[in-house]
Chain A
Amino acid sequence: MVKETVRWLVSSLVLLFVVTALTFVLVSLAPGDAAKAILSGQSTGYTNQQYQQMRHLLGIDQPLPVQYWHWLDGLLHGSLGTDLFNGQPVVDALANRIVPSLSIILGTVVVAGLVGVGLGIVSARRAGVAGRIVDVITLGGFAVPNFWLALVLVELLAVKVALFPAGGYVSLADDPAGWARGIVLPVVTLSAGAIALIAKQTRDAMADVLSREFVTMLRARGLGTASIVYRHALRNAAIPVVTVLGLLLINLLGGTVLIEAVFAVPGLGQEAVTASGTHNLPVIEGIAFYFTVAVVVANLLVDLSYRLLNPKARAS
């Protein structure tokens, strides 16, 4: 157990290191920099001297490894640096943005998990029309571009019938009901594709488990359908499904970008687009850092549930 924890820690740290270093390199490869972004606002143009001065002011004139080293050093002291444009500590700037993104991501994982697993079971068990309908719905959810779905939903459920807000985000602490109403459309939009994914995985896993010998033997022992499907088969099928849920969680981190744009949600995705447009390196690094932490946590959760579900994994 100790050995495993150490191994997990080491690989997590390696991942953090690689991702943040890679981000640093990529950002610096992109044409332009923050100094240009600031100065190019001046329609009168700017001199090279002004530009060098601005670079120095922003601290982006140092060699890349030095900048990265400073960043790592800051990280050890609990700092992610400051926004190049408004001087706000990145930790504070991103703190407000994590919750909206997480609300949508976790909401989607829960909805997609429940609905997807339900539909997957129906699809795996029912022949004929019912199963086919489920298949078509899930495939449809997969095929429709989600920004397209978002636009349609807003038009129908926010503008035509004002059931939900067209966008924005209400803090959970301020107004729980408003918070819930606000995340409905983003969650529904993202869930469409995710449900397809989970339903497909559940169906495949259930079909696989239901055709296994032990299920036949459970029937031979006289157990009822309910117990076989929901107690035994589902538990076995849950292992691959949980793996996919974990991957879904990771992918949604990036997947919220479009949705946050359409629904005007102040999340990490929007900030990622803004920051990469302005070469706001500390903010980009901060987001990459949080994303990676989320990935590490998601993997850990998958691992833990894997152990919970699969006694073999627990033993080894």
Chain B
Amino acid sequence: MSVVVTAAAPDVAAATVPTPRRHRRGLRHKPLGLVAAGYLVALVAASLVAPRLVSIDPEAQDLSHALSGPTAAHWLGTDRLGRDVLIRLLVGTPGTLVDIAEAVAVFTVLGVGLGVLAGFLGRWTDRTISRFGDLVLALPGIIVLLMVLAVFPGNDLAAMIALGVLSCPVLLRVVRAVTIATRNELFVRAARLSGLTTTQIIRRHVLPWLAGPISVQVSLFAAAAVLAQAGLSFLGLARPETAGPSWGNMISEASDVISTDAWLLVPTGGIVAITVLALGLLGDAVRDVTVGRSTRGAGRWVGLSEAPRPPAEATQDRTLLSVRGLTIGFSGSTVVRDVGFDVHAGETLGIVGESGCGKTVTARSLLGLLPGDGGVTAGSIRFDGTELVGLDDRGLARLRGSRIAFVAQDAMNSLDPTFRVGSQLVEVIRRHQKTSKQDGRKRARELLELVQFPEPDQVARRYPHELSGGMAQRVAIALALAGEPDLLIADEPTTALDVTVQAEILTLLRGLRTRLGMAIILVTHDWGVLADLCDRAVVMYAGEVVEQAGIEELYRAPRHPYTAGLLAANPHRAPVGDALPAIAGTVPPPSAWPAGCHFAPRCPYATTECRAEPVALTVLSPDRSTRCLHADQLVVP
């Protein structure tokens, strides 16, 4: 009976993962889960059908052939009274499954009911229910079960109900967490505003989101219940044989005769083990599918090693970074296509475009930091004479931080929450410069001063959660500068910040550029930031570079309708008081990219020609190019 409650514990595993996300990929992409589900269905079907098809009476005794072991007449052997084990296992299955179902029902009803109530109503309801959950979880389950079975001897139903109650806090916790997360989602708030009742909100909006986490917990609990029943049977507490066969009493019998006939443990223990395995696998698969986190491959680092070698291409000497024909794919679908640009030493290049245009993916690919199974599928990234596409992770690690550094948009989440600022800085410093700890600390102090902390020592002692957003971003920048890089890639470094803090960070970056002479790639969707900091800009739309130009020319005379549209929607440029003329429509996802010009569906200039086939980049001048057939029609506004 470790089993009794121990086995219920795996449920807890997922209790810390309350992120609701819906069906990313179907169960059919999980072969093991499919096999498991198939087995369970087959088991139920066989147990219902076989006893009707086969004429063997599960109670028919043949004392002269007791404990025969597997024979042609009895495929899984016979028991002590010479009864057929296979047919008894099958006949016993529905009853056993009903027991499990009872436990699962109690577990689910209590867990979901209380969890939703606690999560949705909050306040004292939540406190009461959570306390109750903690209390039940702390009960010595085995004693309670023994007592329950003493009150109801041989009554599996009572034991299963008790087991369901004892384990329900596990589900309760998960459901509560998910409910709280869901409750805060916009649509529920909206639903509330539109006058739906609480019950309606729970039924229509909260419960569907719970389906995933619940099915995970339930399948794992079902597995635990099967084991628990086997354990109770081993202790001789199962439903007696005279009430008909069950897996439990068959295991009990098998363990009684183990020294005479160990075989009996194989079919009886086997069906339990396989069923538990199937339920476990099913739970895993359902979890992967519904929680949307592929455990296999999650967080795995796909470097650029699998990408094809690009054609060697000569680049100019003063060019620090040269990107050509860069194409990036995720799970077989292309998200960035044929991107090319150069960055010269000391220069600041902006990459601009709406969200979903591939700016961040492009920026991250430069350091081989694509998430999941993303990777460069074609093209070249040449940094200071070294080709990065095809370089292994170790080779890239040598460049990261020391030659090319990265600052992410979400500064708070880019810091390890469990280490102090100082310790994180020192580690990075000592990674790049072989210095003593003491010198590392001194350097950390300098860096913190460099990013304008008036009291660097105090900041060094803080944990990330003790920093404000702006402070966190400055710490992130300090971390990026620790390796004295030649190129700093800043991915929307100010987007998440207040306006005043934005200005501070921009000022800081500008100052740093001047003082340290770094090249910077600044990813942004903010034209103000672009104008403020950048020398040149690359405009991206739906995975492609649509225009490239010096910053002033770009502002003055955009040569792509998308650039023009963005500029028109730029609050910095619009006359005060007028509504912004936003571009109609949204950026299409990669799966919906048009065959011709990606921007055509939203473009006022679009013609049949534009839609016919992919549009090539037109080089207008050495420093200027556009991906538009109608660039000539664009007039300077």
Contact = CB atoms under 8 A, between A and B. Distances in A.
Q: Do chains A and B touch in the complex (CB under 8 A)?
A: yes
Interface of A: 11, 14-15, 18-19, 22-23, 26-27, 29-31, 124-125, 127, 131, 139-140, 142-148, 151, 190, 193-194, 196-197, 200-201, 203-225, 227, 231-232, 235-236, 239-240, 243-244, 247-248, 250-259, 261, 269, 272-273, 276-277, 284, 287-288, 291-292, 295-296, 299, 309-312, 315
A145 B367 CA distance: 48
A197 B492 CA distance: 41
19 contacts: A11-B134, A29-B147, A124-B295, A145-B251, A147-B231, A193-B2, A197-B6, A197-B13, A207-B293, A211-B298, A214-B415, A221-B405, A223-B428, A223-B431, A225-B393, A232-B419, A235-B418, A255-B5, A276-B146
Contact of A197 (B9, B148, B367, B400): B9
A254 B6 contact: yes
Given A200-B13, A221-B428, A221-B479, A19 B140 contact: yes
A104 to B, nearest CB: 10
Interface in B109-155: 131, 134-135, 137-148, 150-151, 153
Contacts of B296: 127, 131
A208 to B, nearest CB: 7
Contacts of B465: 311-312, 315
B402 A222 contact: yes
Given A217-B408, A312-B417, A211 B371 contact: yes
B603 interface: no
Interface in B477-521: 479-480, 482-483
Contacts of B281: 139
B184 to A, nearest CB: 19
A145 B416 contact: no
Contacts of A131: 296
A124 B401 contact: no
Nearest to A290: B140
B17 A143 contact: no
Q: Contact size class for B?
A: 35 or more
A200 B406 CA distance: 33
Contacts of B330: none
Secondary structure at the A interface, as helix, strand, loop or mixed, is helix
Contacts of B276: 142-143
Q: Which 4 A-B pairs have the closest CB atoms?
A: A255-B2, A210-B299, A222-B401, A254-B142
Contacts of A19: 138-140
Contacts of B143: 23, 254, 272, 276, 284, 287-288, 291
B289 interface: no
Contacts of B450: none
Given A142-B10, A221-B482, A276 B150 contact: yes
A139 B277 contact: yes
Interface in B372-411: 372, 393, 397-402, 405-406, 408, 410
Contact of A254 (B5, B134, B269, B408): B5
A256 B5 CA distance: 11
A67 B442 CA distance: 69
B297 interface: yes
A217 B10 contact: no
Contact of B255 (A147, A209, A235): A147
Contacts of B299: 124-125, 206-211, 215
Nearest to A222: B401
A255 B418 contact: no
Nearest to A140: B277
Q: In this complex, which of A31, A220, A311, A312 has the most chain B Cβ atoms within 10 angstroms of its Cβ?
A: A220
Nearest to B301: A219
Contact of A22 (B3, B144, B483): B144
Contact of A127 (B17, B300, B466): B300
A207 to B, nearest CB: 4
Nearest to A12: B138
A190 to B, nearest CB: 6
User: Which of A148, A243, A247, A248 counts the most B-chain CB atoms under 10 A from its CB?
Assistant: A148
B285 interface: no
Contacts of B150: 26-27, 30-31, 276-277
A217 B414 contact: yes
Contacts of A145: 3, 227, 230-231, 234, 251, 269, 272-273
Contacts of A257: 1-2, 4, 142, 235
B12 to A, nearest CB: 5
B91 interface: no
B413 interface: yes
B223 A142 contact: yes
Interface string B275-304: 011001100000000000101111111000
Contacts of B364: 216
B7 interface: yes
Contact of B2 (A22, A30, A146, A232): A146
B214 to A, nearest CB: 17
Given A26-B148, A221-B482, A204 B417 contact: no
Contact of A227 (B16, B138, B427): B427
Nearest to B423: A231
Contacts of B13: 197, 200-201, 204, 240, 244
B85 to A, nearest CB: 16
A127 B306 CA distance: 15
B24 to A, nearest CB: 14
Interface string B603-619: 00000000000000000
B265 interface: yes
Interface in B56-94: none
Interface in B439-466: 463, 465-466
Contacts of B393: 225
Given A208-B298, A247-B12, 17 more contacts: A18-B135, A26-B148, A29-B147, A127-B300, A139-B277, A142-B280, A143-B277, A145-B3, A201-B13, A204-B17, A217-B415, A221-B400, A248-B6, A277-B150, A284-B147, A292-B138, A315-B465
Interface string B294-321: 0111111100000000000000000000
Contacts of B1: 254-255, 257-258
A146 B234 CA distance: 10
Contact of A251 (B8, B265, B479): B8
A24 to B, nearest CB: 10
B2 A26 contact: no
Contacts of A225: 393
Contacts of B3: 145-146, 193, 255, 258
A238 to B, nearest CB: 9
A103 B528 CA distance: 67
B235 A258 contact: yes
Which interface residue of B7, B144, B281, B367 has the most chain A CB atoms within 10 A?
B7
Contact of A240 (B16, B148, B295, B414): B16
A75 to B, nearest CB: 17
A311 B400 CA distance: 28
Nearest to A138: B280
A236 B138 contact: no
A252 B3 CA distance: 9
